[in-house]
Structure 1
Amino acid sequence: MALVLVAWMLAGLLLAIQAWVSGALREEPVALSRATVIWLTWAGLWALLTPIVIALAARFPFERRRTLRAAVIHLAFGAALAALNLAAFSALAPYIGAISAGQTWLETFVRLVRSAFLLNVPVYGLIVGAAQALRLTRSARERELRALQLEAQLADARLLALRAQLQPHFLFNSLNTIAVLMREDVDAAERVLVLLSNLLRRALEISASQEVELGEELAFLEAYLGIEKARFPDRLTYSLDVDPKLLDVKVPSLILQPFVENAVRHGLATLGRAGRIEISATRFGDMLRLSVLDNGIGMDRMAGEGVGLSNTRSRLALLHGNRHSLVLANAPGGGLQASITIPIGSPEAR
């Protein structure tokens, strides 16, 4: 508010100087002190109205598909506030020397209607335009900041994926599985070797994009789960229930990986019975729900959220704001269900 007041006082002083110089050039001299009082009063009234105009600009912004509506609304409010400024200025006119010699108050009011009112409406438009420009600038900076934060989050996600897939014990277990299968089932050993190759290739060459097609995300998970199933053929089953029409929908890259890894780590590793992991994707209007369900130990015995889950929450918030949800809950039959709901479509397009 202080900055607004200072800006209007400077504008009032400049207009007073302009009126003084203009009067001198027309040989109709106006006292600088009188011009200063008049224009500072006018500017002060607009300083009081500016917060209202800024609030209206925020409430009715000029947006795609709503430009005409915003224009009509602001035209109405502009006329109303211009009239309010004019009424207040006219009421103060006798006390600030705004009534010229030989004129009545009514004559002065009529003169102000012709001049000041036609000035006040464009002033309202300038304030709305400035507020709109500031809003767009702020939004651009926020998008840039979100983009930088998302790049950092994605780098962390890729690092976590690489760490999970390239850690020595994972490679050792995978290679040991292949070695065992080579003596028992060469074809199965070859399949696991191909899965491991695909997994490592995807981990090393994963796209730098924030989003990938759901089909790519599922292919990465299938390679990971295929290797784990080869290690524990009788202790792990998994299924994917996804409408083929959803495979090209964009989702945050590696968004499901932390939940699948947790299902294996906290389910299969400590479960006395066979482990089951169910991955599904369902569309609800313009929203996509992704789900990872296991029959493991559930939330009560988990140590809490790891870095991967925390990273996932942050990425979802940065990508989709409040248009997302991430829910972790114990499944009715035991185990844990992780559900993510996000809008369908690129964040840049919304």
Structure 2
Amino acid sequence: MLWLVAFCSIVSVGFWTAHRDEPLLRYLVVGNGIGLSASALGRLTGTLGAARFGLLPRVLLIAPLSVVAGVEIAAYTVGGVPHLLGRSSLDAWFHYGTSFVIAGVACAFGAVSAQAMRMRASLETQRREAAELRQAETAARLALLQAQIEPHFLFNTLANVQSLIERDPKRAASMLDSLNRYLRASLKRTRDAASTLKDELELVQALLDIASIRLGDRLRYAIDVVEPMRQVPLAPLLMQPLVENALLHGIEPSIDGGEIRIVGRIEADMLALEVIDTGVGLGHGTNLHGGVGLANVRARLNSVYGPRASVSVAANAEGARGVTSSLRIPISPPR
């Protein structure tokens, strides 16, 4: 409101400079009366529904009414201003012709500005609602994908424990202890707002410990990730499916078993992670590219990191036996 009074006062002073022999107060009352009346009429038409009034009809309605209201306010308060209603001559109306024009231009500018502000506010609200909707959809999709992965591991482990209870109770107890460590770490991760590569490696190590109990000497593993790199933020359940694939499709079908190595490195602004196994390799009836685990990893990468992130599966280089699963992830907080 203060900016409106200031604007009207500046316009009034501009008119008064051409008639310095007349009181400035009279011009100030007329100018502010016109401005405040136009503002009130604009709010009234907006309350009634701006959609009912086009821009031109609003200007043609508000401008003359505000000029008449401003002149009448000055005529009844400070005096020295001819009335426009009831007892005015045609000359009086012509006398305020410039006021009608300026009021019309000001009303048009105000109406356009108000409409633009409403449109900006509406667009901002729509953008915010769309962003919240996308965030909710992403959270729901990630929760669904995580729900599909977790039972897969748990059911397999419990089945293994059940098979060991009668023939090897000590190994069954050791496997349950490893499963307990995994569940504790997993529960802590679900309560935290963010996860790190260190958290994921702890889970993967618990998974490999459980597999080592079951496979014995047929499985060897190593994790080659330096400590500073382990603090890099990482969305959960990206590495576990790759390790499970290496176990299920690489090591278990191999008579001699094999080794699983997890290697991490930084390449520019990307985190590169590899799960390398020396199992049976591709071409032995495996379905590495179409499994549920890898499909979930691809979906999670796209949802959390966007198109820059990728996962790939390929035979080991230089004719070496086994498969390498690779993750490339931008080093930035998950969105």
Global fold match (TM > 0.5): yes
| Alpha-carbon distance in structure 2 between the residues aligned to 1:140 and 1:324 | 26
The structure-2 alpha-carbon separation of the partners of 1:171 and 1:25, relative to structure 1 and needing over 3 Å to count, comes to: closer
Q: How does 1:267-346 map to 2 (within 5 A)?
A: 267-300=250-283, 301-303=285-287, 304-332=289-317, 333-346=320-333
| Alpha-carbon distance in structure 1 between the residues aligned to 2:314 and 2:105 | 64
The structure-2 alpha-carbon separation of the partners of 1:323 and 1:221, relative to structure 1 and needing over 3 Å to count, comes to: same
Size of the aligned set, in residue pairs, is 256
The one-character-per-residue Cα deviations of 1:177-205 (angstroms, maximum 9, x if unpaired) are 576566xxx6x776544213213444566
Q: Which residue of 2 aligns with 1:157?
A: 146
Question: Which runs of 5 or more structure 1 residues have no equivalent in the other structure?
Answer: 1-5, 28-100, 102-110
The structure-2 alpha-carbon separation of the partners of 1:209 and 1:154, relative to structure 1 and needing over 3 Å to count, comes to: farther
The one-character-per-residue Cα deviations of 1:8-59 (angstroms, maximum 9, x if unpaired) are 98233322322343455578xxxxxxxxxxxxxxxxxxxxxxxxxxxxxxxx
What's the offset of the Cα at 1:225? Answer: 0.8
The structure-2 alpha-carbon separation of the partners of 1:155 and 1:205, relative to structure 1 and needing over 3 Å to count, comes to: farther
| Alpha-carbon distance in structure 1 between the residues aligned to 2:264 and 2:271 | 7
**Partners of 2:55 and 2:111 within 8 A in 1:** no
**Partners of 1:151 and 1:210 within 8 A in 2:** no
Q: Which residue of 2 aligns with 1:171?
A: 158
Q: How does 1:25-174 map to 2 (within 5 A)?
A: 25=69, 127=116, 130-131=119-120, 134-135=123-124, 137-167=126-156, 170-174=157-161
The structure-2 alpha-carbon separation of the partners of 1:26 and 1:221, relative to structure 1 and needing over 3 Å to count, comes to: closer
2:294 partner amino acid: L
Question: Which runs of 5 or more structure 2 residues have no equivalent in the other structure?
Answer: 1-49, 72-93, 95-100
| Alpha-carbon distance in structure 2 between the residues aligned to 1:124 and 1:323 | 41
The structure-2 alpha-carbon separation of the partners of 1:210 and 1:341, relative to structure 1 and needing over 3 Å to count, comes to: farther
State the TM-score, normalizing by the size of structure 2: 0.61
| Alpha-carbon distance in structure 2 between the residues aligned to 1:240 and 1:274 | 18
The one-character-per-residue Cα deviations of 1:310-334 (angstroms, maximum 9, x if unpaired) are 2222222222223422223333234
| Alpha-carbon distance in structure 1 between the residues aligned to 2:111 and 2:314 | 57
DSSP 3-state at the match of 2:311: strand
Query: What is the aligned-residue RMSD (CA, Å)?
Result: 4.0
The structure-2 alpha-carbon separation of the partners of 1:24 and 1:125, relative to structure 1 and needing over 3 Å to count, comes to: closer
What's the offset of the Cα at 1:222? Answer: 0.9
The structure-2 alpha-carbon separation of the partners of 1:230 and 1:306, relative to structure 1 and needing over 3 Å to count, comes to: same
**Partners of 1:158 and 1:203 within 8 A in 2:** no
The reply on whether 1:347 has 2:328 as its aligned counterpart is no
| Alpha-carbon distance in structure 2 between the residues aligned to 1:283 and 1:135 | 38
State the TM-score, normalizing by the size of structure 1: 0.58
Q: How does 1:222-233 map to 2 (within 5 A)?
A: 222-233=205-216
1:311 partner amino acid: N
| Alpha-carbon distance in structure 2 between the residues aligned to 1:297 and 1:253 | 28
State the identity as a percent.
27
**Higher Rg of the two aligned structures:** 2
The structure-2 alpha-carbon separation of the partners of 1:13 and 1:308, relative to structure 1 and needing over 3 Å to count, comes to: farther
| Alpha-carbon distance in structure 1 between the residues aligned to 2:331 and 2:243 | 22
**Partners of 1:150 and 1:319 within 8 A in 2:** no
